Amino acid sequence: MDPVEKLRRLGPATCYEPAEEVSAAGRPLSAPVGLPADLSGFIHYAAMPGGRRIALLKTLLTSACERDCFYCAFRAGRDCPRATFTPDELARLFLQLHQRGIAEGLFLSSSILGGGPHTQDRLIATAEILRHRYGFRGYIHLKIMPGAERDQVAAAMRLADRVSVNLEAPNDRRLAALAPHKQFTDELLRRLRWIEELRREMPGPAPSSTTQFVVGAAGESDLELLHVTAFLYRHLGLARAYFQAFRPVPGTPLEAHPLTPPQREHRLYQASFLLRDYGFSVEELPFQPDGNLPLDTDPKLAWAREHLAEAPVEVNRAGRETLLRVPGIGPQGADRLIAARRRGRLRDLKDLRALGIAAERAAPFILLDGRRPARQLPLF
Ligand code: SF4
């Protein structure tokens, strides 16, 4: 089969593989321009640390799977077109795309065929061919398979810039409702622990790690998802958790399960950034009694309305930690604000605007030189 035809068959399999193609605000980044139509579904822009964006070929090594996850288009026994690359084939195809300027990096995952360790060997072999035979020095993201061995995780980490383990659900019980033959602790979470241990042992720069969750198909709450996310950020050095709103796939056991509103995914991203970058704890997030975040309110805004509306923050004095609690002030804005204070007092919303801060969002929760900022109230 022609390699591009194989890609076409494998492409939809990555629908639950979010890679890095989501902006910090949780919105998808725009598709690359000028791509051959055949490939536009497989090339995604990925945001790199430092803000650079690169075109990433995102694919599976095979879509033939022996597992039967309830939500997955490529579960065993489902009637669908499948394809398998050999490591050689995929490495060659990627190299051609790279040489034509179509793909700068590779995101490589796989269905499970012949067991997790065997599949992991094939992923590693693909990356080895690219690195050692073809001398490719660009970005590679490798998936760590359920059940991969510790030596394989180490080998993948020597080859990749980023590795990831899909937890899919926040705990064993929820995972059983999604993927009956995946074991949360033994097959998945343990690999994330190994990654963190190996990262500490590695001389020089070590790859970052991520995970992803399927949201809304296992009855899990946002509280459960964010609880494990906070643990992963704090204890296992996770760079990022990805959240994928569940979409039912025809011909799977969950085909009649309702679609998860995309807004839930968006709120989870916002909350996870509060945990990772803003010093929030899970307990501080504004959960409803059912353990979910309100869909209609930004969680940081909801927190500020409760805690800062009557106790505004004096931006000329507050520490970075406190500034980060104010809606409209992010990590970069807080740093710029602190630097600007050294040059003089901030007295007006326009002083904040000049620093790139969303001053109108911040205004109800701040004092400028002891005074509530004058602002135009919305008409409605
Ligand atoms: S392991 Fe599960 S999620 Fe992954 S391809 Fe197989 S059935 Fe789909």
CB 139 within 8 Å of CB 103: no
Highest CATH level, class, for 3-284: alpha beta
pLDDT of residue 18: 56
Q: Give me the helices (H) in 32-115, please.
A: 87-99
From 66, 111, 123, 143, the mutation candidate for ligand 1 (largest count of ligand atoms within 8 A of CB) is 111
Could you tell me the distance, in angstroms and rounded to a whole number, from the CA of residue 13 to the centre of ligand 1? 9
In this structure, the number of other CB atoms found within 10 A of the CB of residue 171 comes to 17
pLDDT of residue 204: 87
The Cα angle at residue 339 between residues 335 and 341, in degrees rounded to 5:
120
Average pLDDT value for residue range 263-289:
98
Worst-scoring range by mean pLDDT, 53-67, 117-131, 210-224? 53-67
From 10, 16, 66, 72, the mutation candidate for ligand 1 (largest count of ligand atoms within 8 A of CB) is 72
pLDDT of residue 29: 44
Please give the Cα distance from 134 to 248 (Å, whole number). Answer: 40
CB 142 within 8 Å of CB 160: yes
In the beta sheet, which residues pair with residue 140?
A: 106
Element spanning 59, H or E: strand 53-60
Q: For 88-145, write each residue's pLDDT tens digit.
A: 999 999 999 999 999 999 999 999 999 999 999 999 999 999 999 999 999 999 999 9
pLDDT of residue 16: 53
Residue 28 has pLDDT above 60, yes or no: no
Could you tell me the distance, in angstroms and rounded to a whole number, from the CA of residue 176 to the centre of ligand 1? 13
Half-sphere exposure of 167 (CA within 13 A, CB side): 30
pLDDT of residue 5: 80
CB 252 within 8 Å of CB 73: yes
Chain length of the chain: 380
Report whether residue 218 contacts ligand 1, using a CB cutoff of 6 Å: no
pLDDT of residue 380: 54
Report whether residue 254 contacts ligand 1, using a CB cutoff of 6 Å: no
- pLDDT-based confidence at residue 57 (cuts at 50, 70, 90): very high
Worst-scoring range by mean pLDDT, 34-48, 157-171, 188-202? 34-48
Q: For 228-262, write each residue's pLDDT tens digit.
A: 999 999 999 999 999 999 999 999 999 999 999 99
Residue 80 has pLDDT above 50, yes or no: yes
Please give the Cα distance from 60 to 111 (Å, whole number). Answer: 7
pLDDT of residue 68: 95
- Written as six digits, the tokens of 188 are 């998945």
Report whether residue 74 contacts ligand 1, using a CB cutoff of 6 Å: yes
Please give the Cα distance from 238 to 210 (Å, whole number). Answer: 6
* 3-state DSSP percent of the chain in helix, strand and coil, to 5: 40, 15, 45
Worst-scoring range by mean pLDDT, 36-45, 182-191, 349-358? 36-45
Could you tell me the distance, in angstroms and rounded to a whole number, from the CA of residue 316 to the centre of ligand 1? 53
pLDDT of residue 35: 54
Q: What is the dihedral of CA 54, 22, 170, 297, to 10 degrees?
A: 160
pLDDT of residue 38: 63
- Percent of the chain's residues with pLDDT above 90: 82
Report whether residue 71 contacts ligand 1, using a CB cutoff of 6 Å: no
Give, using CA atoms, the residue closest to atom 2 of ligand 1.
69
CB 115 within 8 Å of CB 149: no
Please give the Cα distance from 353 to 369 (Å, whole number). Answer: 16
Residue 26 has pLDDT above 50, yes or no: no
Give, using CA atoms, the residue closest to atom 7 of ligand 1.
75
- pLDDT-based confidence at residue 52 (cuts at 50, 70, 90): confident
- Written as six digits, the tokens of 203 are 């001389």
Report which of 305, 343, 344 is spatially closest to residue 326, judged by C-alpha positions.
Answer: 305
Could you tell me the distance, in angstroms and rounded to a whole number, from the CA of residue 71 to the centre of ligand 1? 9
Q: pLDDT averaged over the chain?
A: 91
Average pLDDT value for residue range 323-340:
97
pLDDT of residue 12: 52
Q: How far is CA 79 from the centre of its chain?
A: 30
Q: Could you state, in order of their start, the residue ranges of all structural domains in the chain? A: 3-284, 308-367
Question: Residue 296: exposed, middle, or buried by beta-carbon count in 10 A (0-12, 13-18, 19+)?
Answer: exposed
Report whether residue 230 contacts ligand 1, using a CB cutoff of 6 Å: no
pLDDT of residue 42: 77
